[in-house]
Structure 1
Amino acid sequence: MNSWLEVSLTVDGELAEAVAEVLARFAPGGVAVESGVAYRHDEDEGTPSGAVCVRAYLPMDEKTEETRHKLEEALYYLGMIQPLPAPVFEPIADQNWMEAWKEHYQPIPISKRLIIVPAWLESPDEKRIPIKIDPGMAFGTGTHPTTQLCLELLENLFEANSPLVTRPTSLIDIGCGSGILSIAALKLGANFA
């Protein structure tokens, strides 16, 4: 298994793009720019404000030390324009990233009766109706507030004491993700979804 050398710098949002450009020259796998703050313009466009962490991963091989030296030199010259913090280098063991993310994905209780459960786990709450999905990259994993609100609305529509004269028997999920709303509707009592 390969291992990697992570290089990271926490810089002001104004410098993030320039630092990312330098790191991209040396990191074949790309660069990650992590901002935990709001952008300066509406709709997340423009330059992030506040501290931004820029990360890249260098493959650990016979050229790692040479690449690290060249990277530090390029950052030194960029730092002559505007001071930069020293880069932080940390060895990272390679993992099966396609599976590792699953460790952090847990069941999500929704409303009074529903719980979204990843396909590889069992439902921790037998009193709730489980919606088993493979979250992957699709929209409709249940983590977005709009999905949760739609699921709550569906639950209310299918409650036994619903103020509706007639409960719906069929629904259409016009989303473009996992089909989570259709699955919930069927589990709550719809004949067709």
Structure 2
Amino acid sequence: MRKRAKFVEEEIVADLLPVMNVMFLLVPLLLQAMEFATMASVNVAPPRFTAERSEAKQEDSPQDKPLNLKVIVLEDGFRISADGQQDGAEAGKGTDSKAPTIPLAKPGTPLTDYDRYDYGALEQKAKSYKDLFPNETTVTISAEGNVPMQALISTMDALAGRTCKLGRALKGENIPADCYFWQPIVEGGAG
């Protein structure tokens, strides 16, 4: 019979030098890559609180008054209101305040299809408001609870202007003319 050799424990020396060399080369490469990586962001601002203005100042020109544009994404379209008045609703006509201002582009499609909304009409409405109020950049957006998140994001894109690029404006250049309401405030729940 053969004798089994006794198991001898050896101490293994870990050679970390190759790993350290790789890390030494990776750190500058990652730092340099960060300089070229472009970041996209959606500017979101909290609601602003201001002291009430005097009655004389509020009766200036309509462009001096705040627009208070609000867009609600409903299951059946967009409801738009500005300065507390629903767009399309005439005083004393008894217009349903729950009806959408911009109906669906594709009625009858499932709720999960976010392309059912008419984003082109919403962008045109935003452009018309921007022409009336050129200094306004803020819009308040809310949605019903079962509206898909992508519909909310596409709504923000349409209100900002689908061709709006703010990269250079954030570095000090003028805001492009095709940027409408690029500072959304997202509220919880449709009101």
Q: Smaller-chain TM-score range? A: under 0.3
- In our comparison, the structure showing a higher alpha carbon Rg is 2
Query: Which of the two has greater strand per residue?
Result: 1
TM-score normalised over the length of structure 2: 0.18
TM-score normalised over the length of structure 1: 0.18
User: Which structure is richer in relative contact order (CA contacts within 8 A, separation 6 or more)?
Assistant: 2
